[in-house]
Structure 1
Amino acid sequence: MTREKAGRHTALATAGERPSRWAHRRHVLSGVIGSFVVVALVLAIAAYAKFNSNITRIDVSRMLGVRPTTTASSAGAHTAVNILVMGSDTRTGIGTDAYGKDTVEGGAHSDTNLLVHVSADRDRVLVVSIPRDSMTMAPKTCSDPNSTVANGEIRQWNYNFNLGGPGCTIKTLEGLTGIFVDHYVVIDFRGFQQMVDALGGVPVCTTSDIADKDAQFTLAAGHHILDGKQALGYVRVRKTVNDGSDLNRIKRQQAFLSSVAQEATSKGLLLRPDKLYGFLNAATKSITTDPEMGFGTMTSLANSVRNLGVDKIEFVTVPTQVYPKDTNRVEWRASADKIWSAIRADQPLPGAGTKPAVTSSSTPEPLTVAPDKIDVRISNDSGVEGLALQAGAALAVQGFRLAGYTNGTTGDITGTVIAYAPGHKDAARTVAAAFPGSTLRVDAAVGETVVVRLGPGAANPVAVPNRLGSDPLPPMTVSAGPSATDGLETRKADADICS
Structure 2
Amino acid sequence: MSEPTNGSAQGSTPGQDASAPGGGTPQDDAGVGRRSQRHQGSSHRHPWLRRSLFGVAALLVVALVLGIAAYVKLNGNISRLDISSALGDRPEPAATTDAVTNLAPVNIMVMGSDSREGTNLGKGQTEYGLEGARSDTNLVVHLSADRKSAIVVSIPRDSMTMAPRDCKNPKDNVENGVMRQWNQNFTLGGPACTIRTFEGLTGIFVDHFVVIDFRGFQKMVDALGGVTVCTPDPINDEDSHLVLPAGKSKVNGKQALGYVRVRKTVGDGSDLGRIDRQQAFLSSVIQEVTKSSLLLRPDKLFRFLDAATGSMTTDKGLDIGEMKDIAQSVQAIGTDQIRFVKLPTTVYEPDPNRVQWLPSAESIWKAIREDDALPGTKKPSTTTTASPTTTAPALTVAPSEISVRVTNDSGIAGLAKQAAGDLGIQGFKVETYLTGTGEKTTGVLVRYGAGQKEAARTVAAVFPGAKIKSDSTLGSTIEVSMGLDSPDAVEIPNREGTEPLPKPSVTATSNPTDTATIAARTADQDICS
- For 2:289 and 2:257, locate their aligned partners in 1 and report how far apart those are by CA, in whole Å: 19
1:10-29 alignment runs, 5 A limit: 17-22=40-45, 24-29=47-52
**SS at 1:78's partner residue?**
coil
2:117 maps to amino acid: T
1:346 aligns with 2:371: yes
The code of the aligned residue for 2:358 comes to: R
Asked if the contact 1:204/1:224 (under 8 Å) is kept, the reply is: yes
Residue ranges of structure 2 left out of the alignment (5+ in a row): 1-33, 120-130, 381-512
Residue 524 of structure 2 corresponds to 494
What is residue 67 of structure 2 aligned with on the other side?
44
Question: Partners of 2:148 and 2:223 in 1: how far apart?
Answer: 28
**2:259 is aligned with 1:234:** yes
- The residue number in structure 2 matching 1:267 is 292
Which runs of structure 2 are paired with 1:285-434 in the superposition (5 Å)? 285-353=310-378
Contact 1:12/1:19, CA 8 A, preserved across alignment: no
Contact 2:376-2:517 at 8 Å conserved across structures = no
Residue identity opposite 1:236 in structure 2:
R
Partner of 2:436: none
Is contact 2:157-2:271 (8 Å) kept?
A: yes
- Aligned residue in 2 for 1:195: 220
> Residues of 1 paired with 2:117 and 2:347: CA distance?
33
- Counterpart of 1:389 in structure 2 is none
Partner of 1:58: 81
- Residue 132 of structure 1 is matched in structure 2 by 157
Secondary structure, counterpart of 2:340 in structure 1: strand
Counterparts of 1:39-118 in structure 2, within 5 Å, are 39-75=62-98, 76-93=101-118, 107-118=132-143
Letter in structure 1 aligned against 2:116:
R
Which amino acid in 2 is paired with 1:37?
L
Say whether the 8 Å CA contact 2:94–2:105 is kept in structure 1: no
CA distance in 2, matches of 1:280, 1:266: 18
- Write the distance in 1 (CA, Å) between the matches of 2:195 and 2:39: 77
Q: Is the 8 A contact 1:215 1:237 kept in 2?
A: yes
Contact 2:376 2:518 in 1 (8 A): no
Q: CA distance change for structure 1 residues 199 and 12 in 2, over 3 Å: closer, same or farther?
A: farther
Aligned-pair distance for 1:145? 1.9
Measure, in 2, the Cα distance between the counterparts of 1:303 and 1:485. 34
8 Å CA contact retained: 1:72, 1:344? no
Shift in Å at residue 308 of structure 1?
1.7
Amino acid at match of 1:206: T
CA RMSD of superposed structures (Å): 2.3
Mapped pair 1:255 → 2:312:
no
Distance 1:277 1:345, change over 3 A: same
* AA matched with 1:64: L
Aligned position for 1:278: 303
Paired amino acid for 1:66: D
Q: CA deviation at 1:108?
A: 1.8
Q: What is the deviation of 1:326?
A: 0.2
Between stretches 328-337 and 304-313, larger displacement belongs to 304-313
Q: Secondary structure at the match of 1:326?
A: coil
Alignment partner of 1:32 out of 41, 44, 55: 55
Q: Shift of residue 42 of structure 1?
A: 1.3
Which residue matches 2:233?
A: 208
Deviation at 1:219, TM superposition (A): 1.0
Which residue in the other structure is 2:443 paired with? none
Tell me which amino acid in the other structure corresponds to 1:281.
D
AA aligned to 2:211 is V
What is the CA distance between 1:485 and its match in structure 2? 8.2
Deviation at 1:17, TM superposition (A): 4.7
Question: Any stretches of 5+ residues in structure 1 without a counterpart?
Answer: 1-10, 95-105, 356-482
Deviation at 1:488, TM superposition (A): 2.2
Q: Is the 8 A contact 1:317 1:488 kept in 2?
A: no
Maintained 8 Å contact 1:351/1:484: no
Q: CA deviation at 1:312?
A: 1.2
- Which residue in 2 is equivalent to 1:441? none
What SS does the corresponding residue of 1:327 show, helix, strand or coil?
Answer: coil
Question: CA deviation digits over 1:59-81, x for unaligned, max 9?
Answer: 11111011000125211331100
**1:228-270 C-alpha deviation (Å, 9 max, x unpaired):** 0000000011011111100010000000000000011012323
The Cα of 1:22 is off from its aligned counterpart by 4.0
Q: Aligned to 2:56, what secondary structure does the other structure show?
A: helix
Distance 1:484 1:209 in 2: 42
- Which range is displaced more, 16-25 or 51-60? 16-25
CA distance in 1, matches of 2:263, 2:246: 16
Counterpart Cα distance in 1 of 2:178 and 2:296: 47
Q: 1:237 to 1:114 in 2, by over 3 A?
A: same
Q: Secondary structure at the match of 1:79?
A: coil
Question: What is the alpha-carbon distance in structure 2 between the residues aligned to residue 125 and residue 493 of structure 1?
Answer: 10
Cα shift readout 1:171-223 (whole Å, capped 9, x = no counterpart): 00000000000000000000000000000000011110112222221211011
CA distance in 1: counterparts of 2:45 and 2:376, whole angstroms: 68
Q: In 2, distance between residues paired with 1:271 and 1:246?
A: 37
Matched positions, count? 353
Classify the secondary structure of the residue corresponding to 2:353: strand
Quick one: which amino acid aligns to residue 145 of structure 1?
P
Q: What SS does the corresponding residue of 1:111 show, helix, strand or coil? A: strand
- AA matched with 1:140: R
Give the counterpart letter for 2:286 in structure 1: A
Residues 126-149 of structure 1 show CA distances to partners (whole Å, capped at 9, x for unaligned) of 000000000000011111222111
Question: Which residues in structure 2 correspond to 1:436-475 (within 5 Å)?
Answer: none
1:203–1:89 CA distance, 2 compared to 1 (3 A)? same
Give the TM-score of the pair, scaled to structure 1: 0.68
Match for 2:144: what amino acid? Answer: S
Q: Which segments of structure 1 move beyond 6 Å, counting only runs of 4 or more?
A: 11-16
Give the Cα separation in 1 of the matches to 2:283 and 2:515: 19
| Secondary structure of residue in 2 paired with 1:39 | helix
Tell me the alpha carbon deviations over residues 77-108 of structure 1, each in whole angstroms, 9 at most, x when there is no partner: 311000000000112237xxxxxxxxxxx822
Q: Which has the larger radius of gyration?
A: 2
- Partner SS, residue 225 of structure 1: strand
How far apart, CA to CA, are the structure 1 residues paired with 2:66 and 2:292?
A: 25
State how far apart, in whole Å, the 2-side matches of 1:185 and 1:179 are.
17
SS in structure 2 of the partner of residue 328 of structure 1 = coil
- Indicate how the Cα distance of structure 1 residues 44 and 236 shifts in structure 2: closer, same or farther if over 3 A, else same: same
CA contact (8 A) 1:207 1:222 kept: yes
Asked whether the 8 Å contact 2:103–2:145 carries over to 1, the reply is yes
* Corresponding residue for residue 429 of structure 1: none
